[in-house]
Each structure stands twice: as C-alpha cells, then as structure tokens.
C-alpha cells in the first residue's frame, strides 16, 4: 500500500535530518527501504532491479528484501549486514527528509557516530524478541552525546511475537529506564514490522491496542527546536569553488546564524573583512542562508580565503583559546 508522498524536491519545506540505528539485524535498512517503497519513491526500474537482487541476495523468502535498497556494497549484501552509512533524500507534502542508515555491528560503531553527527532525530530499532541489548544502549548514548534530543524507539519485528501488547510495553519500559539517564527531550515508542509495513506509513489492524502515530506521521509532525539561526554567523569554508577564471566562491554549510548579500563578514584567521556579494546554490541564488543550509558564498573583495577558514559575524567574532573541554568518542 502506498501513501500520498511527493517525490519532487521543489518548494521550500522544513528539512529533518534523522538516522536509523540500533543493533545488527534489528531491521534498520529494511525499515528505510519499506518507508521509501510505501511512499512510492522507488522508480519502476529500481524496483525491478531490487526484485532481481532480492532473488540473488535476499533474506525475505520470495518477497522483496527492502534492505538491499540501502545496502549497496557487495560485502554488505554477501554478509547481510550494513557497513557504510547510506544516505537517502525524500520528500512528503509535509516535510523534506535526509535519512542516514547506519550500521549496527559493533565493529562499525565509528561509522554510526559519523552518520549521527549531523542528525536531529534518531530512530533506534529494537528486535521485539531480543529487547534492549548492549548495542542499543551504546547507540542511544552516542546519540545523546552528539546532541540528538529526539528519539524514536521502533520496536520492530512485532509480527514475530504475535503483535503482543505486553511485549511492546516491556521493551518500551526497559528502554525508558535506561534513557532516564540520558539528555533527551522526547522519546516516542512505536510498535512496527518493517518487513510487512505495519505502522510504518499506515496504521496496522494488527495493533488495535496502539493509538499513537505511525512512524511517518511522527517524522512529519515532530517539532525540532533549532536555535542555530539565532546565534552569530559561523560559516566554515569546506571548499574553494573555482570552476573558471570568472567565478570564485566559498562552499560550506552555515552552522550558526544567517547571512545575506550585502552582509559584512569577518575572515576569523586573518582578521580581514569583506561583504557577501551573492549566495549561490544548485537551485539558484538565495536572498538569505540560515543555519543548516549548504551554500556557496561569493564575496566583493579579493581577500585570501582558503579551505578551513571560518567566516563569522564581525560584531560577534569567535573566541580564540588554547584550552577547551570536550567529549571525545574514541574508537580504537
């Protein structure tokens, strides 16, 4: 069953960056594949290829193995695990989404942390049969450490426990006790079957005892507080964009504040200032870029700006220090 989703990227929509995480084999890739399929965001040729790959690598019997839509590496398909982070962009009438499907295997936890580093919400999958395991806790802790305040506990594979309400309540309560020690704003528990599609994009008749939202409904309506736009401008230069002698721009993501043509910006390292001449994107020029926007800035003067430089608001420049405190995720 497909729900009404819109594949077009046109029009300004709120963007939610989220990831799927949790222990290995808890159904992360299958969930995202099912979500894209039920939103009718898989093209016919992709679906045909997926059906062929399902016959070759699939683990869903004669059905489509939706995890193969995300697990594209040969090693991932042969070992039937996620290794690298796979990103997918999709749009519904309510919101735009950038989802990072991260690996659950302990060996690739570093990849999970990388995928989580830019996200605002985490969907933590749990196999209803196994409940909360070590990797569930580890991923939830990393999400909290990276500042992700919104968690969805997706209790998956409910079809394998007979859609038992008691089992869902038991798993939810166990996670809530653990998460009480984390810095989180909200936790939403949802019973679902990624393989069959129950409570992913449509309400399931097999969970009449659950009166909460489907996963898609929650993703479309959850309110994410973003205070980055209220802070002073911070724009790290990731790339000097020089396709020809006529164009010189500085590409990166606005991590705080906002910027508009005509604004005065400070090159933090050198102390030189210049004005923004133009804000360039793939879809055309912008009147303003805010925190989270990936853009290219063109400036009015020939100042020395290189990869790694920080453009900032000259009225509130960044502080230079030789000591700082930080939490570090160390993967030996």
pLDDT of residue 331 exceeding 70, the answer is no
Mean pLDDT comparison of 61-65, 71-75, 260-264, highest-scoring range: 260-264
**Do β-strands 310-312 and 264-267 pair in parallel, antiparallel, or remain unpaired?**
antiparallel
Domains of the chain by residue range: 15-221, 228-312
- Out of 3.40.50.150, 3.40.50.10860, 3.40.1280.10, 3.40.50.300, the CATH code matching 15-221 is 3.40.50.300
Q: What is the pLDDT of residue 69?
A: 59
Percent of the chain with pLDDT over 90: 53
The structure tokens listed for 52 are 């062929």
HSE-CB at 301 with a 13 A cutoff on CA atoms is 13
Query: Alpha-carbon distance 96 to 17, whole Å?
Result: 9
**What is the reported pTM?**
0.74
Per-residue confidence band for 20, with pLDDT thresholds at 50, 70 and 90? very high
Q: H/E element holding 278?
A: strand 273-281
Q: Which superfamily is assigned to 228-312 in CATH? A: Translation factors (2.40.30.10)
Q: What is the pLDDT of residue 141?
A: 92
Specify the length of the chain in residues.
332
What mean pLDDT is reported for the chain?
84
Q: Report, as an integer, the average pLDDT of 104-112.
A: 86
Tell me the per-residue pLDDT of 264-303, one tens digit each, with 9 for 90 and over: 999 998 899 999 999 999 888 999 998 888 899 999 998 9
Range 179-183 contact pairs with CB under 8 angstroms and sequence separation of 24 or more: 179/140, 179/151, 182/140, 182/141, 182/144, 183/144, 183/149
Per-residue confidence band for 56, with pLDDT thresholds at 50, 70 and 90? low
pLDDT of residue 70 exceeding 60, the answer is no
Query: Alpha-carbon distance 318 to 332, whole Å?
Result: 32
Residue 257 makes CB contacts below 8 A (sequence gap 6+) with: 228, 229, 230, 231, 232, 233, 234, 290, 291, 313
Closest CA to 131 of 92, 171, 94: 171
Question: How many other CB atoms sit within 10 Å of the CB of residue 63?
Answer: 12
Q: Which residues pair with 280 in a beta bridge?
A: 285, 296
Per-residue confidence band for 317, with pLDDT thresholds at 50, 70 and 90? very high
End-to-end CA distance of the chain: 45
């Amino acid at each position: 069953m497909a729900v009404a989703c819109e594949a077009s990227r046109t029009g300004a929509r709120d963007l939610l960056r989220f990831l799927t995480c949790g222990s290995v084999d808890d159904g992360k890739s299958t969930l995202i594949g099912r979500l894209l399929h039920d939103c009718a965001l898989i093209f016919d040729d992709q679906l045909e290829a997926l059906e062929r790959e399902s016959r070759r690598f699939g683990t869903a019997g004669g059905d489509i193995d939706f995890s193969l839509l995300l697990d594209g590496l040969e090693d991932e398909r042969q070992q039937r695990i996620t290794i690298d982070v796979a990103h997918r962009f999709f749009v519904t009438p309510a919101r735009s989404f950038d989802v990072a499907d991260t690996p659950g295997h302990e060996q690739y936890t570093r990849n999970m942390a990388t995928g989580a580093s830019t996200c605002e919400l985490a969907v933590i999958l749990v196999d209803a049969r196994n409940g909360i395991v070590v990797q569930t806790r580890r991923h939830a802790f990393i999400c909290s450490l990276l500042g992700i305040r919104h968690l969805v506990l997706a209790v998956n594979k409910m079809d394998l426990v007979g859609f038992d309400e008691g089992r869902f309540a038991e798993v939810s309560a166990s996670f809530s006790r653990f998460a009480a020690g984390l810095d989180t704003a909200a936790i939403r528990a949802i019973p679902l079957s990624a393989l069959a599609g129950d409570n992913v994009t449509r309400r399931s008749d097999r969970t009449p005892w659950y009166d909460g939202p489907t996963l898609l409904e929650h993703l479309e309506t959850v309110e994410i507080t973003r205070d980055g736009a209220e802070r002073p401008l911070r724009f790290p230069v990731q790339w000097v964009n020089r396709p020809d002698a006529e164009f010189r721009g500085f590409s990166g993501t606005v991590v705080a504040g906002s910027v508009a043509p005509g604004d005065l910006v400070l090159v933090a390292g050198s102390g030189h200032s210049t004005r923004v001449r133009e804000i360039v994107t793939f879809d055309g020029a912008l009147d303003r870029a805010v925190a989270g926007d990936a853009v290219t800035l063109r400036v009015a003067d020939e100042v020395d700006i290189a990869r790694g430089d920080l453009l900032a608001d000259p009225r509130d420049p960044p502080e230079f220090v030789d000591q700082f405190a930080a939490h570090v995720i160390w993967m030996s």
